[in-house]
Amino acid sequence: MKLYCLSDHPNAPCLLLTFKSTTILLDCGLDLTSLQHFLPLTLVPSARLNSLPPWTVTGDISTQLKDDLKKELKECSGRVFVDSSPEVCLPELGIVDFSTVDAILVSNYHCMLALPFITEYTGFKGRVYCTDPTQQTGRQLMEEFVEYMERVPRAKTAVNWKKPSVLKMLPAPLRDIAWATSLRRCYTTHDINSCMSKVRVTAFSEKLNLFGSLMVSPHSSGYCLGSCNWVIKSDYEKVCYVSSSSFLTTHSIPILQEPLKNSDLLLLTGITQTPAHNPDSMLGEFCSNLTVTIKNGGNVLVPCYPSGIIYDLFECLSGYMDSVGLTQVPMFFVSPVADSSLAYSQIFSEWLCAQKQSKVFLPEPPFPHAELIKSGRLKHFSTIHGDFSSHFKTPCVVFTGHPSLRLGDAVHFMELWGKSSSNTVIFIEPNFSYLDALAPYQPLAMKACYCPIDTAISFPQATKMIKELKPLHVVLPECYLTPPTSQPLRTDLVVEAEVAPTPYKRGSVLHLPIKRRLERIEITPELAGSLAPIEVKPGVFVSTVTGTITARDNKYILQEAPKQALPSTPSSQPIRKRKREDDGGVSETAHPKQYVYGNLEVEELVQALAKNGITDVKVEDTASGHIIHLQTEDTIIQLEEGSTHIFCEGNEPLRRKLRDTLIACLPSF
Amino acid sequence: MAEIKVTPLGAGQDVGRSCILVTIGGKNIMLDCGMHMGFNDDRRFPDFSYITRTGRLTEHLDCVIISHFHLDHCGALPYMSEIVGYDGPIYMTQPTKAICPILLEDYRKITVERKGETNFFTSAMIKDCMKKVIIVNLHQTVQVDDELEITAYYAGHVLGAAMFRMKVGSQSVVYTGDYNMTPDRHLGAAWIDKCRPDILITESTYATTIRDSKRCRERDFLQKIHDCIEKGGKVLIPVFALGRAQELCILVETFWDRMNLTVPVYFSLGLTEKANHYYKLFIMWTNQKIRKTFVKRNLFDFKHIKPFDRGYIHNPGPMVVFATPGMLHAGLSLQIFRNWASNPLNMVIMPGYCVAGTVGNKILSGAKKIEMENRQVIDVKLSVQYMSFSAHADAKGIMQLIRMCEPKNVILVHGEAKKMEFLKQKITGEFGIQCHMPANGEVVAMETKANLTADVSLSLLKRSIALSGDALKDVKKPRVLHGAVTISGEKMHLEDASKTMQQLGMTEHEIRFTSTVTIPSMSMEVVQKKLKRRFPHQSVQLTSDGSILVGSVLVKVAGESEESLDLLVSWPYQEEDLGSSLFTILQHGFASHTET
């Protein structure tokens, strides 16, 4: 069993597992933090961004390259940005032949954004497995991202700054980009559609059979709609892949831990990205900041993904705004996929927590946002163009993407509201550092609050989970073994386990210490009936067994061998004759019919020989046993502890007689 | 040898009150718990006294499974669980759980409030019964207990209809409920994987029908409606509240749109309107086309079809009315029928199956006079049309499902005996498998031949496969495995014999034979060559000290003279066959032996 670690970003995992000659890719995360190095994509040309000064490289490079770099690099408030179509960071694709991958298991919609890069550009021929909500929501996330990119087409992609020789001359944080060679432009809508056609949707606790050798099941992880942990089982071994689980009560079905217990191997990723921020108190902070801003006549911008935590926010916020007398303040949700995100959330009732699920029996939509839309408190638009302007009124709350603040309509609102200190931008998504997100907008008058709501398990919860699940081995990203770089003193923010976990980093290949010793085999009733088991110990029976194995769909069946065990290659004339003569086709490959064990009492053998008419014997004691001498036949039986040796002078009938007598004296099976 | 028993308590050679008992691996399962629309006495419910005459059913049943919300599949459920008494789990899909109590309540109202029956289940009983329900999602494997697992598959018949597979160990049974193998306007086609169950219990409503193309039937249907309203007639379409009603509404809605018709279309208020809400929330259970477009336009928001009011019955002029119930046995549809039956301009279209005893069934079999409950006799002058829109699999569909899941045996239920007989012949003929059609109360018991499972050491398995050679080239070729099997309790373990002895603390007793033989003088190279020819499948090696090893049989020079060579042949008991035959060959001398 081997594990190829294609990404070590714990929240954009991508791991390749080989197990029982099956190759499985676990998740396909896309590291979007690379977006922070680029300038925002504005739909309307921004005078401010266009007038940013170029950054000049000081170093030993050609003037040509220097000039090229001037066009690529811009400086804003002391930070250098790349002026180009933004690029995303792919997992390590070089160390694996993707045409050999049999299946891709996706655990949640945040962990599948790199999927089209693999299904469309690597020769991948297998199947992708994920739940229905994961597929639909994942598709929405991809479509939104692609739409945001294509809305602002940029002819050129900057390439010079990525050259290793140049990169090391750049200031931080550009200088510290670890995987500059894995940066790529995003895929297209066509890629998304083609990729989605390779998906086979699964239900929670469905047993998926991979080639008869592995049984794979997704079990609810409680993190978001349709999110799951995967259990990969052979008949004897069990591997659990835990990715982004949650113990908090949100809108999705709670985590199911039982199937994850007692595994041989636990792969753990997706612990909270904001361990210092408690989701519940963040929600409170969110509400109070919102109230203050609106009561002062300002507007609130919430950069967000088009699904997930926003469903809870709509519900929670509308109630809260009622309670503080802000019922009249509209909420806008602007995303190219707003309508389908809201519509799909209402029809995935089977994937929702019991309280939401029970609504459909009334019948009512599970989420209150259907009601909010009807009453006009929540208005959704695919873009800020067209209809939106006629409904737009301030003060208001706007939910829109992209949370990186580099693309999408959020960029527009930042430019629009950034100059006034009465407005507030509230960050709720945990994936991006808010200071990095705001950097190209500096200097900024607008207030910024960081209220990340990350429902994923905390470090103490992860440690407790491992304790409860009792895996034999634990494998996790290296960064989980040391405190986060931002909080080096918080030694509590690490994962601990009784058996030291095996860490991985990007590009590493782990040989996992799981030895397969057994395989399951079926024995046909006919063969089983022909066995003659001997009780060798109380309750323990043993029998020799010989049969032919057939393997179908990686299942082994043992059945009675055909009566005439002929050699498989055509035999030449003389051999066949010989066989006929050697009493009844004794094949050279014949197996022993029985096994003898234990020790022999010399007196017993002598008596048995006598019974068979061999009386002319002389017994001698030796250092290690006895020798029985058959005087007339010049034959010797040498008895020792655990062994007997018969020497005879070519008298075959006598030898067989001795053989049978001897075996009858020994216990056998 | 294990046994699976199947006993229909209802729906055995009949349509109505589906209820089938299955005993598999010692587990008792009740499949569906329906009522019979053709009876008003005890016969309307399955005969639960078959299970036990005294006491509750809880200790006799491990679980109850409901395939879909039609009353002939769930109508007796509150009676069974609350009056007879059952507290164990009841499994159904989410849409079934949502819609089933509504239909049960409706059925209860008609029976108790209209017909004035007492001693029937109450609304509270329906609620208590539904509390025992556990939701099963499609393809999810639900572990009922440590041994019994059930899996639901899409059946397409109505919203939320499912087929169920029950599995205990290596034994399994599939129950189809009602299903449909061709996608229709709002539902997809039934699907199941190749799970090779021991028994497939399938419905056989349309066992002898092979329906013409769906498109033709739809055109026919619209043509008939159109002709009737052209002449100023009224069209009554009795439907079940859920299912067919939605499909026909979509059909009429698009037709009205296309033809720019203004004649009013109504559906009976309440049930059907509410039903459309369910369809909107359970879009995931409809067909792909509706699922793809629902964000832009929900097909169940009708523009032309308006709610019906009883007052409209006597409105003049043409109209089209969808009214429940579907078999004209009670309620609004029957009331409308009474009023419109005497006018030959009017028309009633029966879009589905009607069980014996209902008004629907009577008019379909050509009755011209119908006696109502109040002894009033109605003349049937209106045109009676039958359109099979019922979403059951036809004969072709049933055969297709059998091909899909490859069962070892088939049991037919939910159909008429005569039609079943025909299908039975067809199934036995085409697939060469056994097919049964038990009547109610008749037990079908089947022996299943199951393989025993054992653990085999991987090294032994790999060695056995590798030894047979060409493992990669010829996967299907049989390979020989030899070892010892240890049986303790339920467990069987296959291992190399000497390892087995080691593990069990037994010391192997080694037996070795050494025999001498004299052959004509020749070099050991020649001996090797000759032996090689005789044992083409063994390794025959000349060792460095001039001996020959055939397998593990040692041939050694003991002495030689000019004419002869004395050989020592030595082998362990494990190689007895090889050693003994090799010795015999040497003893006879090669030459003479070969020529005989």
Q: What is the CATH number of the domain that holds B17?
A: 3.60.15.10
Q: Would you mind telling me the total number of residues written for chain A in this entry? A: 669
Claim to verify: residue B77 and residue B219 sit in the same structural domain = no
Name the residue of chain B whose CA is nearest to A343's CA.
B295
Whether B240 is in a domain gets the answer yes
Interface contact A211, partner B, CB < 8 A = no
Distance CA A321, CA A332 (A): 14
Which of the residues B515, B517, B570, B585 would you substitute to probe the A interface, choosing the one with the greatest number of A C-beta atoms within 10 Å?
B515
Whether residues B504 and A536 touch (CB distance < 8 A) is answered with yes
Report CA Rg, chain A: 36
Sign of the dihedral through C-alpha B411, B413, B418, B423:
negative
DSSP for A224-261, please give it: STT-EEEEEE-SS-EEEEEES---S--SBPPP--GGGS
Interface contact A59, partner B, CB < 8 A = no
What's the pLDDT band for B507 if we cut at 50, 70, 90? confident
Interface contact A624, partner B, CB < 8 A = no
Interface contact A663, partner B, CB < 8 A = yes
**What pLDDT was estimated at residue B580?**
86
Whether residues A533 and B506 touch (CB distance < 8 A) is answered with no
Q: Select the residue of A207, A344, A521 nearest B456 (Cβ to Cβ).
A: A521
C-alpha distance from A146 to closest chain B C-alpha (Å): 20
- A-chain CB neighbours of B486 within 8 Å are 540-542
Give the pairing type, strands B540-542 and B548-550.
antiparallel
Joined together, the tokens standing for residue A422 give 């009465």
Distance CA A475, CA A499 (A): 11
Span A1-37, pLDDT tens digits: 999 999 999 999 999 999 998 999 999 999 999 999 9
Last residue of a domain, one of B345, B370, B386: B386
Whether residues B501 and A597 touch (CB distance < 8 A) is answered with yes
Q: Kindly report the average pLDDT of chain B as a whole number.
A: 88
What's the pLDDT band for A590 if we cut at 50, 70, 90? low
Where do the domains of chain A lie?
Answer: 279-450, 520-561, 592-669
Span A145-154, pLDDT tens digits: 999 999 988 8
> How confident is the model over A199-228, as a mean pLDDT?
95
Claim to verify: residue B108 and residue B205 sit in the same structural domain = yes
Report CA-CA distances (Å) from B287 to A84, B185, B188: 44, 8, 4
Q: Given the structure tokens 């060469």, which residue do they identify?
A: B432
**What pLDDT was estimated at residue B271?**
62
Whether residues A546 and B449 touch (CB distance < 8 A) is answered with no
Span A237-267, pLDDT tens digits: 999 999 999 999 889 999 999 999 999 999 9
Top-ranked range on mean pLDDT: pick from A629-643, B142-156, B457-471: B142-156
Claim to verify: residue B187 and residue B261 sit in the same structural domain = no
- B-chain CB neighbours of A591 within 8 Å are 480, 482
Q: Select the residue of B487, B514, B533 nearest A533 (Cβ to Cβ).
A: B487
Span B26-65, pLDDT tens digits: 999 999 999 987 787 888 999 999 999 888 999 999 999 9
Joined together, the tokens standing for residue A339 give 């309508």
Span B252-267, pLDDT tens digits: 998 998 999 999 999 8
**What pLDDT was estimated at residue A300?**
97
**What pLDDT was estimated at residue B40?**
78
Claim to verify: residue B416 and residue B465 sit in the same structural domain = no
- A-chain CB neighbours of B517 within 8 Å are 650
Q: Select the residue of A360, A519, A567 nearest B537 (Cβ to Cβ).
A: A567
What's the pLDDT band for A576 if we cut at 50, 70, 90? very low
Pick the closest to residue B12 from B47, B52, B61 (CA basis). B47
Q: What percent of chain B has pLDDT over 90?
A: 50
- A-chain CB neighbours of B456 within 8 Å are 518-521, 556, 558
Contact B8, B202 (CB under 8 A): no
Name the residue of chain A whose CA is nearest to B100's CA.
A361
| Range with the poorest average pLDDT among A269-283, A567-581, B139-153 | A567-581
Whether residues A598 and B486 touch (CB distance < 8 A) is answered with no
**What pLDDT was estimated at residue B475?**
53
Distance CA A586, CA B335 (A): 87
- Spell out the residues 6+ positions from residue B94 whose beta carbon is closer than 8 angstroms to its own: A349, A350, A357, A360, B135, B137, B160, B282
**What pLDDT was estimated at residue A575?**
41
- B-chain CB neighbours of A522 within 8 Å are 451-454
Whether B163 is in a domain gets the answer yes
Give the pairing type, strands A265-269 and A238-243.
parallel
* Count of domains for chain B: 4
Burial class (CB in 10 A: 0-12, 13-18, 19+), A40: buried
Q: Which CATH number fits domain A279-450: 3.30.465.10, 3.40.50.10890, 3.40.50.1000, 3.40.50.280?
A: 3.40.50.10890
Specify the CATH number of the domain A592-669. Answer: 3.30.310
**What pLDDT was estimated at residue A641?**
86
Report CA-CA distances (Å) from B397 to A91, B202, B215, B428, B549: 47, 11, 17, 16, 65
Claim to verify: residue B127 and residue B205 sit in the same structural domain = yes
- A-chain CB neighbours of B537 within 8 Å are 567, 569, 588-589
A580: amino acid identity, one letter:
R
Last residue of a domain, one of B371, B386, B401: B386
Span B58-103, pLDDT tens digits: 999 999 999 999 999 999 999 999 999 999 999 999 999 999 998 8
**What pLDDT was estimated at residue A571?**
40
| Range with the poorest average pLDDT among A64-68, A328-332, B88-92, B440-444 | A64-68
Q: Bigger pLDDT: A616 or A355?
A: A355
Sign of the dihedral through C-alpha B494, B497, B498, B503:
positive
> How confident is the model over B179-206, as a mean pLDDT?
92
**What pLDDT was estimated at residue A82?**
94
Whether B448 is in a domain gets the answer no
Joined together, the tokens standing for residue B87 give 């507290």
- Residue B447 falls in the annotated catalytic set: no
Distance CA B284, CA B165 (A): 21
Distance CA B305, CA A75 (A): 64
What's the pLDDT band for A577 if we cut at 50, 70, 90? very low
Whether residues B476 and A550 touch (CB distance < 8 A) is answered with yes
Q: What percent of chain A has pLDDT over 70?
A: 96
Phi, psi (degrees; rounded to nearest 5) at B522: -165, 165
Pick the closest to residue A58 from A192, A160, A166 (CA basis). A166
B414: amino acid identity, one letter:
H
What's the pLDDT band for B216 if we cut at 50, 70, 90? confident
Window 500-529 of B: residues touching A by CB (8 A cutoff) are 500-501, 504, 506-518
Span A99-132, pLDDT tens digits: 999 999 999 999 999 999 999 999 999 999 999 9
Q: Select the residue of A350, A523, A643 nearest B509 (Cβ to Cβ).
A: A643
Phi, psi (degrees; rounded to nearest 5) at B406: 50, 65
Report CA-CA distances (Å) from B414 to B20, B177, B210, B424: 10, 9, 17, 13
Distance CA B232, CA A421 (A): 72
Whether B444 is in a domain gets the answer no
Distance CA B556, CA A295 (A): 106
**What pLDDT was estimated at residue B471?**
45
Span A343-356, pLDDT tens digits: 999 999 999 999 99
Pick the closest to residue B64 from B9, B117, B118, B138 (CA basis). B9
Span B427-482, pLDDT tens digits: 999 999 999 999 999 999 998 887 889 999 999 998 888 765 554 455 555 688 88
What's the pLDDT band for B153 if we cut at 50, 70, 90? very high
Spell out the SS3 assignment of A610-662: HHCCCCCEEEEECCCEEEEEECCCCEEEEEECCEEEEEECCCHHHHHHHHHHH
Window 548-587 of A: residues touching B by CB (8 A cutoff) are 548-551, 556-558, 561-562, 565, 567-569, 571, 574-575, 577-578, 581-582, 586-587
**How are the residues of chain B apportioned to helix, strand and coil, as percentages rounded to the nearest 5?**
35, 25, 40
Claim to verify: residue B103 and residue B172 sit in the same structural domain = yes
Interface contact B476, partner A, CB < 8 A = yes
**What pLDDT was estimated at residue A588?**
45
- Structural domain that includes position B81: 2-210+391-438
Distance CA A185, CA A146 (A): 10
Whether B241 is in a domain gets the answer yes
Whether B446 is in a domain gets the answer no
Kindly name the residue from B3, B147, B203, B430 that is annotated as catalytic: B203
Claim to verify: residue B464 and residue B498 sit in the same structural domain = yes
Window 398-427 of A: residues touching B by CB (8 A cutoff) are none
Claim to verify: residue B296 and residue B374 sit in the same structural domain = yes
Say if residue B595's pLDDT is above 80.
no
What's the pLDDT band for A363 if we cut at 50, 70, 90? confident
Say if residue A574's pLDDT is above 80.
no
Whether B358 is in a domain gets the answer yes
